[in-house]
Chain A
Amino acid sequence: MKIPPHELAKALADATAHAAGLSRENAELQSVLGAMREAVVAVGPDERITRVNAAAAPLLGMTADSARGRLLGESLRHPVITRVARAGLSGKVDEGEMEIFVPAKNASPGGSSALARRLFQVRGTPMPGRTGAVLVLHDVTQLRRLEVVRQDFVANASHEIKTPVAAIQGVVETLADAPEMNETDRARFMDILTRQTSRLSKIIEDLLTLSRIERGLAVDLAGFSPEPLAPIGSAAVEACAPRANAAKVLIEADFDAGLALPCDPSMIERALVNLLENAIKYGGSGGRVAFRIARENNQAVLEVRDFGAGISSEHLPRIFERFYRTDKARSREQGGTGLGLSIVKHIAESHGGRVSVESSPGAGATFRIHLPLAPPPAALPA
């Protein structure tokens, strides 16, 4: 069969235009996929990977190009993703959650092999005509973590509040029902009442403090003039002196007298008192507490360090949460409400700063409040 040259040329031009269109569509698709936060993996009917986006590459442990053509099970082995992929290939939508280990994002330079545990929600959707399946992986690690924090908070808060209420209610009922109770028992019950009432009122006071700070001191901060930090530090030491003396703990203060920044001095003092009280409680009797206020780069660092038993690493990421306790029995015995560190964190954040903690078992703990120092006057707009 003979095709006239002009028709051949036209067919060729059409095909080229079509190909150009396709490659433009392809490029568009690539950039849409590339912009996605979710990982996308497409597989063919033989379970071989046909396409992955940039977010998927680290999960597969290889570049997008080298993943193409490999069996899904070779690159990402997990029963959930296999199940979801097969459902997609047989024309069904399926989803599930799986836990996998992926290279940590902020791995230290030397530790390139560091892996982080992540939780992914996987959803598989069939492609038209059973030509394959698309798997979308959504990272829900943070979401699930926050759910745990919230559930723990609700459970801990109800425990912390209902326990004193239970004791108070029980004692009141007991006293009302037993008018002939002997003096010794009566005195013991009155003790319980006094102790639990004061505990409940401390918790309520701390919760109110937290909600006051949350309502936004940060907005009003502009109204405060620069306050020197050293006198605030001295006031905190003063406030903690009776406790420190009782526990035979020496507070060694080392303040940079020149540091000042706009802040609510009573709030900062409160935060420092909380940190000092903790250090006195957990630093061990007869010990010492190092209390430093210093400039570091463009920050004021308020640091309280004890030399006690320290805190094991599993607690450190959660220690500033409300009602989080590393040792419930011990901290309650010490009269804590479980809110002290959370208040410190909120005060620091309401001043545009942050908190940090460093500790290892046996080596004590160091708590720091980092507050941004005001930019030098020259940098301020006239």
Chain B
Amino acid sequence: MVVQEERPKRIEVYDTGEAPLVMSYGPQHPGTGHFRMIVTVSGDTILDVQPDPGFVHRGEEKMCEYKTWITNIPHLERPVILDSAGIQYPYVLACEKLMGVEPPERAKYLRVIMAELNRIGSHLYWFALYGVFLGLTTMFLWCFGDREYIVDLVSLIGGQRITHAYFVPGGVRNDAPKNIPMELVREFRRYYRMTTGKELPENQQTTDFKKYTLAVMEFFDRRLNDYWGLFFDNELFIQRTRNVGVLSELDAIRLGAVGTTLRASGVRSDTRIDDPYDAYPNLKFEIPTGTRGDCYDRALVGFREMRESIKIIQQAVETMPDGPVKNKQHPINIRVPAGEAVARAEAARGEMLYYIRSEGGDRPYRVKISPPSFRLLPTLAHLLKGAKIADIPPVYWSLNYWPVEADR
């Protein structure tokens, strides 16, 4: 038997003689974002949780049916602006599958660089908020300080700091620049001096895009060591997260968990190696997994994923071939032949899946988005049953649940 049947959880409750209390956690609560959980408690033990998403539902899927193939891209990235590469990636891949086109080699590398930069940026944002809700305000300040330089790189390549709409079917919108403005280098030099207490080496003070990217990556890789000491080796963080919200491997599989949550429970599944796309087969990286599946492990897997992303970006920048970045055909007029296709990509929060059906016209017949956050809802409800109210923030934030992404 492969899948274990659900065993009811035994919840021990101190009998106060009072009826259980039903309360609403969110959507105004600063600890959940635009998301509500209807929580039934006895004392401070949670008996039942009903997740209630939908406060930021925008009807993205219906909107896709009204807009043309290319004008869909900018609005599709709105649900998750931190990781806009992750949410537009499978859409573009699915269009390419139906059109039967392959992007040029250079575009494949640029896409990978963009996706990994977005992953790092998104993870930093996650850690920032995770820290705040555990009382580690330093985590917020550090992560946001460092994220600035990652987002700068995104804006150099894609033209925008967050919603860049960089991918188009058949390539990317534009090439990466050869040179960058001197102000950015000055700013980076100032920050380098501030955080390390040393001067930025002479050979890294350059306006060459490739060298600047490598310098930022090297700096950030060293910076992660500081993160380890301040957060992951910090008693305050360990006490709040170790052995809290433990998800076993079988439960992770049964409940269909994704992304860092799935891998923290010990399943080594990542779309980048399971179903490799674009330049990923040419790059070497590892898939970090956890052993205990608790809130600490989930954060740790995310932390180690950032290291791997740095490795990927370094390799991609160094081995990126020259050449065109998009196919000749004009992207405004694309028409996707009739048919249906499924495509997926590993976004920052996990596997993002698209089902696209075309009738051959200038707009899609049906676009289905299955975001990773939405697939985490059963896991969230499962983990919180039997926990204490004080465990809601660590469990909720360790899943990296993003309400806007789940609601679409």
A is bound by B: no
